[in-house]
Structure 1
Amino acid sequence: MNSTKIISKFFNSRLKEIDLFTTEAADIQHRVLNRLLKEAAHTEWGRKYDYQSISNYEEFKNRLPIQTYDDVKPYVERLRKGEKNLIWPSEIRWFAKSSGTTNDKSKFLPVSKESLKDIHYKGGADAVALYFRMNPESRFFSGKGLILGGSHSPNLNSKHSLVGDLSAILIQNVNPLVNFIRVPSKKVALMNEWESKIEAIANSTIKANVTSLSGVPSWLLVLIKSILEKTGKQTLEEVWPNLEVFFHGGVSFTPYRDQYKQVIHSDKMHYIETYNASEGYFGTQNDLSDPAMLLMIDYGIFYEFIPLEEVEKENPKIYCLEEVELNKNYALVISTSCGLWRYMIGDTVKFTNNRPYKFVITGRTKHFINAFGEELIIDNAEKGLAKACAETGAQVCEYSAAPVFMDSNAKCRHQWIIEFAKKPDSIDLFASILDTTLKEVNSDYEAKRWKDIALQPLEVIPARKGLFHDWLKDKGKLGGQHKVPRLCNNRQYIEEMISLNQQA
């Protein structure tokens, strides 16, 4: 008997609610906003903006400014020290550690008990429900799910408050019953040292009946390589014959798809993209033939959208869900049951459908590299280059950087092409200082570089004199406001530059 078919029936009522996203999206979203305003009305933030007197979206939009992490940070610092009822009425005991801003190595995003229940865990349950609809023959519950997460530590040395990766916070607080259907054990899952952790997970799960995987594609591929090496097997289904689905997120799956095909040959394998950020769970793929994700609109999240061309303006145009246009890039703005209000998270999305609302992630509001979850921003790059120049006496004219995606041995790195006005005596030393400084200013880059497990030391390619001038000229972009792309999350530009660099 297929127990999953019996259990999956309990998800049917939820699927009927999700079906209402097609016809009642606007009403659903505005009910969420009203609920959030009502619950936070008596917080310090709610009193500041007189939430009790806000009766509709227009009043909300006109009264509250758009927020960035620098705006929220003073409240977060007070929350971490134990103050209560600042931006959300319940006690905030957990803080998701994310990549930093211009001024900070890391961000600490509040995670309330309400957000765990009505955003993150609800998102996970809905991902499973939607998967059962896509694959009614699933035997998901005949085995266990392997969840690859991060780690956490006490918040400011408090035993009752935690700081860490969102995945670790979710594992720490999950319903104990879930632990019966997941591997590895909580003790192993929350280990701090990644090299030992990968080893422990591999050793403890090889003999398990794993039917599903959840995690970031780059890190999970490292684990898979370890498991195949230990077992001497060529494919993962030889280790776990009942494996059927991978719920992935965090970075784009596109660069890894072919590599997963090399280690998982089974035609019964399914790949489901999810969008579970530190700030909230936003979307789940609900059609295997469509890469777009369904926007989850009845959680504790109210969505707004800023057209990408408006982001840097003092008074940008801002739209609620029913006002967005298809196939247009928007910066994502959220108000949530974590106490984030009109918070711009930095991601950009594009809607491909509005009945129901489906979207794809298109990038970040600024240049970045996030091929492996490192979220490297230009400010990090500038600080790293400044330090490398100061210590080697070098001078940089122009530069650009991009990822080198994993090869068959799960090796990857960042590749920089730099035109020097004054070359350093040693390119290797320059690269080493740059790499070390990036680890110092960006905690996510530091984590991915840990002991070279997933991300290798960066590579610096010296550019010939005039390379970037010639590249811009070939593009018809000399002068004016045209600039060299400093960081790019794909290899289109850097491949053109490398090719041009080899020409006399």
Structure 2
Amino acid sequence: MSMVNDVVVWFLKRRLQRIQDFMQNPVETQQRIFNELIQTARYTEWGIRYNYGQIKTTQEFREQVPVSTYEDLFPYIERVLKGEPNVLWPTPTEWFSKSSGTTNARSKYIPVTPESLEECHHMGGKDMMTLLVANRPDTQVFEGKGLSIGGTIHTNPYNSETQVGDVSAVIMQNLPAWGEFMRTPPLEVALLENWEEKLEKMAAICSEENVTSILGVPTWTIVLLDRIMEHKGAQSMLDVWPDFEVFVHGAVAFQPYRELFSKKYFPSDKVTYLETYNASEGFIALQDDLAHPGEMLLMLDYGIFYEFMPMEELGKPFPKTLTLDEVELDKNYAIILSTNSGLWRYLIGDTIKFTSRFPFRLKVSGRTKHFINAFGEELIVENAEMALTEACEETGAIVRDFTAGPVYMEDGARGRHEWIIEFSNDPNDLSVFVETLDAALRRLNSDYDAKRFQDIALLKPLVQVVAPGTFYEWMGRRKKLGGQNKVPRLSNDRVYIEEIRELLEQATR
């Protein structure tokens, strides 16, 4: 073990006690965070409006402050974007995280305050490696470089004195010197705006480095790894990076990609896969037990106070929400954040389920807007990904990308779901794949099963297999290549399906 690796591992092991403290005292930790947030913001415009100076309990907070979507908060965020001080949070905001669009704009701009950057995003990155060390105490990962695929940085269109960018880019731009020394490629490449130019330069540079870890979204990591293997003529990425140890992944569920990574890119049981739940709004959860993929520890001391909304409350004018001590296992909740970046009772748009209490572990089950419920079936992303995994296991298939939407009841025809799937390995029998997918969905979702009973309302899924590169081309046309962009998995309308169909039709003309 080199001196650098030895020092970093020693430093990270010292951080474990803090994590163990909030695992043992979760409710008390959240109460402390709540008190700090309310006290810090009591003289902001928002805090004065909602009488933060008089709020003493979380129940009073829930009664006095509304649950907000991005659209609800945007008039305040817009003022922060323009440079107005002390609106949502007292400290100056020089950075904004830009994420995918909302109903009133193509992009959302999330304030990133000095507190949220240091106490949340950067803390999460350190704890991510701390938990790796806890699970792999003999790790040599710091002998080499960590590869991270960044987004881009731009001048704030509302105020030229501040900047906006993907959350990955904002974090990279603000790394300390020692953090930048340990990563690759250099910032001038990692933050390039042109995705194809960035991809080529990353492949050339990173293929010559001793990369021991990757932090990235599986979909875009695959594109980079394919380019590197082509560049080097390699059979697997272990031919290029023989000391590779860990892939830290997030943003999309990893299960549909696990076999692809473990067989094609890193065919070794020595490679570790570590899941994170890091959003523009904050670093939320980390996998702390490698034996349970998909389950992550809720990080409770990052300056975020959590509430959880039962799905039956979604859309109500005064929804009931639960605090940490009130939640139940295996129930779907929309997650609500109050943060040290000035987001208050913010409906982030993700849904989660708790897999354990004390300590509190969760898994991401989907999005409040990414589902199919055209026929009362209430199909969520978690159902889709679990069913796809079973269909792949049954037929030897490996899914690279997919999306699904409804086929509406028209002219007396019954409805169904249409799936567009791009495979890395095709199923050995597509009909068996479809049958297994349908059977798994019926078992996992009782509402779907009821609609499928004797084909009363829904026919079995219609699966269309598309050529390699189709989703990449589609995302390119949507100007959604690279960075934090994600392929939408489920939609309650046919917009995405029709866009891909149009692309396929143009290719055959």
Q: TM-score range by the shorter chain?
A: 0.7 to 0.9
The residue aligned with 1:63 is: 64
Q: Which of residues 426, 430, 446 in structure 1 aligns to 2:479? A: 446
* Correspondence 1:298 to 2:329: no
Asked whether the 8 Å contact 2:238–2:266 carries over to 1, the reply is yes
Q: CA deviation at 1:225?
A: 0.3
User: How far off is 1:270 after superposition?
Assistant: 0.3
Structure-2 change in CA distance of 1:182 and 1:408 (3 Å): farther
The residue that corresponds to 1:359 in the other structure is 362
- Per-residue CA deviation, residues 4-52 of structure 1 (Å, 9 max, x unaligned), is 3443222233211211233210000010010011111111111111111
- Identify the residue that residue 275 of structure 1 maps to in structure 2: 277
Q: Is the 8 A contact 2:82 2:159 kept in 1?
A: no
Tell me which residue corresponds to 2:322: 319
Q: 1:133-282 to 2 correspondence within 5 Å?
A: 133-156=134-157, 158-261=159-262, 262-282=264-284
Task: Say how many residue pairs are matched.
Answer: 418
Structure 2 counterpart SS, 1:447? coil
**Structure 2 counterpart SS, 1:339:** coil
> Is the partner of 1:275 in helix, strand or coil?
strand
Match of 1:330 among 324, 328, 333: 333
Matches within 5 A, 1:372-411: 400-407=417-424
Residues 487/331 of structure 1: CA separation in 2 closer, same or farther (3 Å cut): farther
Greater alpha carbon shift after TM alignment, 53-62 vs 129-138: 53-62
User: Bigger CA drift: 120-129 or 156-165?
Assistant: 156-165
Q: Which amino acid in the other structure matches residue 404 of structure 1?
A: I
Distance 2:38 2:486 in 1: 43
| Alpha-carbon offset, residue 152 of structure 1 | 1.6
Preserved contact between residue 99 and residue 444 of structure 1 (Cα < 8 Å): no
Q: Counterparts of 2:112 and 2:328 in 1: how far apart (Å)?
A: 31
Following the alignment from structure 1 to structure 2, what is the Cα–Cα distance between the partners of residues 373 and 150?
22
Name the counterpart of 1:89.
90
Output the amino acid matched with 2:421. Answer: V
Contact persistence 1:402–1:489 (CA under 8 A):
no
Tell me the secondary structure at the aligned position of residue 132 of structure 2. Answer: helix
Contact 1:448 1:455 (8 Å CA) reproduced: no
Task: Work out the CA distance in 2 between the residues paired with 1:40 and 1:24.
Answer: 25
Q: Which amino acid aligns with 1:272?
A: L
For structure 1, the 5+ residue unaligned runs are 386-395, 410-434, 459-483, 491-504
Verify the 8 A CA contact 2:287 2:296 in the aligned structure 1: yes
* Cα deviation digits, residues 41-93 of structure 1 (max 9, x gap): 11111111111111111111111010001111111111111111100111112
CA deviation profile, 1:110-147 (whole Å, cap 9, x unmatched): 11111000000000100100100100110011111001
* Identity, % of aligned positions: 42
Mind listing any 5+ residue stretches in structure 2 that lack a counterpart?
373-380, 386-398, 427-470, 498-509
State TM-score, norm by structure 2.
0.76
C-alpha RMSD of the superposition: 3.4
Q: Distance in 1 between matches of 2:327 and 2:18?
A: 23
* Inter-CA distance 134–44: structure 2 relative to 1 (3 Å threshold): same
Do the aligned residues in 2 keep the contact of 1:376 with 1:445 (CA within 8 Å)? Answer: no
Partners of 1:315 and 1:375 in 2: CA distance: 36
Residues 155-207 of structure 1: CA deviation (Å, up to 9, x unaligned) = 01754311121111111111122111100001000000001101001111111
Q: CA deviation at 1:279?
A: 0.6
Partner of 1:309: 312
CA distance in 1, matches of 2:311, 2:158: 40
For the structure 1 residues 56 and 487, does the alpha-carbon distance in structure 2 shift closer, same or farther, using more than 3 Å as the test?
farther
CA distance in 2 between partners of 1:331 and 1:444 (Å): 31
Separation in structure 1 between the aligned mates of residue 162 and residue 104 of structure 2, nearest angstrom: 24
Shift of 1:377: 11
* Secondary structure, aligned partner of 1:314: coil
In 2, Cα distance between equivalents of 1:288 and 1:276: 18
C-alpha change, 1:374 and 1:310, in structure 2 (3 Å) is farther
Distance change (3 Å), C-alpha of 1:403 and 1:149 = farther
Matches within 5 A, 1:127-138: 127-138=128-139
- For the residue of structure 1 that corresponds to 2:244, the secondary structure is coil
